[in-house]
Amino acid sequence: MTELITALDYSDAQSALKTVDLIGPSCQWYKVGKELFTAVGPSIVQELKARGKKVFLDMKFHDIPNTVSKAVHSAAAIGADLCNVHASGGTAMLTAAGQAAKKAGILLVAVTVLTSMDEAELASIGLSVTPQEQVKRLALLTQSCGVPGVVCSALELPVIRTTCGADFITVVPGIRPAGSSADDQKRIMTPAQAAQQGATYIVVGRPITKADNPAEAAAAIAATLASSR
Ligand code: C5P
């Protein structure tokens, strides 16, 4: 079944934890990204763990193999359950990170191509490929290096499933329940569609955190996922 991860895009712990406490049992997973982690530090992960929650530490590590594998180890040591690296760090980095994650008992996924990169942006860094070709290439590289999944847009789900198989983990942002605002997301999919396409996790931020009633918003998405099994 597809699981819901709520993105805690806040700059202080109090606002983040207020949302978590409001949501209650409808969501088990929370994403802590660069904004919140840089402002607050590891204590936010510990606060979430104290509430019985699972934590996706979205730091998108990208560095030399030794540094990244140690960062993955540190993510596990502070209690994160899932973390990520940039697949463009290459074979040696992905392999080292994958081994560190297995050893430390943390789930690891890789970011292929940032959704803010289009063909012109890729060309500007010397890559004459389409984003789709690069996503496929990096997903395959990720898998061949022993990293069990990727972060991908909902629209990339079918190609990732075909290329890497049904057991490959997919973490999918850009999700909007029917009728909710797209905000700045351009390529969106509903929770039900993402579940039908086989997403392992969906990441949802503003449709929950900015809702009048975050608990109801999260519960509705969780119910949709449960019925899309
Ligand atoms: O509020 P919203 O649902 O758009 O939040 C989505 C979350 O997923 C944000 O934390 C955003 O940074 C993250 N994300 C994304 N698109 C990507 C990768 C991450 O929206 N390609």
Query: In terms of residue numbers, what domain contains 75?
Result: 3-227
The whole-number pLDDT of residue 184 equals 86
Pick the closest to residue 82 from 96, 92, 66, 97 (CA basis): 97
The whole-number pLDDT of residue 56 equals 99
pLDDT by residue (tens digit) across 101-114? Answer: 999 999 999 999 99
Which residues does a 6 A CB cutoff place in the pocket of ligand 1?
A: 7, 9, 33, 115, 151, 153, 173-174, 183, 185, 203-206
Atom of ligand 1 nearest to the CA of 185: 4
List, for the chain, all residue ranges whose pLDDT scores fall below the cut of 70: none
Pick the closest to residue 33 from 15, 6, 72, 2 (CA basis): 6
Neighbours of 146 (CB within 10 A): 15
Overall number of domains in the chain:
1
CA of 191 relative to ligand 1 center, distance in Å? 14
CATH label of the domain that carries residue 48: 3.20.20.70
Pocket test for ligand 1, best of 203, 206, 208, 209 (most atoms within 8 A of CB): 203
- Which distant-in-sequence residues (6+ apart) come within 8 Å of 43 by Cβ? 13
The whole-number pLDDT of residue 24 equals 96
CA angle 143, 145, 151 (to 5 degrees): 45
The whole-number pLDDT of residue 187 equals 78
Helices (H) and strands (E) in the chain, counts: 11, 8
The whole-number pLDDT of residue 94 equals 99
DSSP string, 118-180: -HHHHHHTT--S-HHHHHHHHHHHHHHTT--EEE--GGGHHHHHHHH-TTSEEEE--B--TTS
